[in-house]
Amino acid sequence: MRQNNSWSITRRIKMRHKLSRYYTLNKRGRSRIRSVSTTMEVLDKKSRKIFMKIIEAMEGKPSLQIDSEKFMPLTVNLLHKEVNTALGKGTTYSLCNYYELDGKAFKDPEMSFIVIDNRNEESKDLEKVFIIPYRFQVTYSSVYELSIHIEDSQIIGFHKEMQKKHVILANQWLHQIKTIRYVNF
């Protein structure tokens, strides 16, 4: 246990140092990203299919909890209705597993996504859906990673390497969600 605590403290210090290279404060005290690339990574086709199946199960509700016999429930929340991106207008969602310890709820993990659905009523092609992970959080180990900075419903920048890592994690987690059978196909 002691080793885990020292690891998480070291990880938080490294994360703050890593982010400090990309963020700087403007005159109002708000953070801005110094290094902005133009290409963000998106989820693979299999993960997009799983994610859109989850969104469809919400049936327009702001949140949904999907139970599993052997695992923690999966909670899906609609966060914001409109985020402007270069690919079109997006909506943000979070997927999260919660567990309780000493009466407190912990996120294990939580990931947030920007979903840009450019399909029309005639076309249901997933090639026109872009799902971009932008935040990863595990409460107990104090991990909080924000790879895309959104301010006033606009993407103002992102951390390219961290965002790639979030895509890899999200693809793995969504494939696991299908394996666990939160979503039936």
Please report whether residue 25 resides in a domain.
no
Q: Is the pTM of this model over 0.85?
A: no
77 phi/psi in degrees, rounded to 5 = -130, 140
Residue 140: helix, strand or coil by DSSP? coil
Domain of residue 48: give its range: 36-180
CA 115 from chain centre, in angstroms, equals 10
Cβ 131 vs Cβ 47: under 8 Å: yes
Per-residue pLDDT of the chain (185 residues; tens, 9 = 90+): 334 433 333 343 344 334 333 333 333 444 343 333 357 889 999 999 999 999 999 898 999 988 877 778 889 999 987 898 888 899 999 998 877 778 777 777 889 999 999 988 877 788 889 999 999 988 777 888 999 989 899 888 889 999 999 999 999 999 988 877 665 54
φ, ψ for residue 61, nearest 5 deg: -80, 155
Buried residues in 83-101 as b, exposed as e (16+ CB within 10 A): bebebeebbbbbbbbeeee
Helix and strand counts by DSSP (H, E) for the chain: 3, 10
Has residue 157 been placed in a domain? yes
Structural domain contains residue 6: no
Domains identified in the chain, total number: 1
| DSSP bridge partners of 10 | none
For residue 124, being part of any structural domain is answered with yes
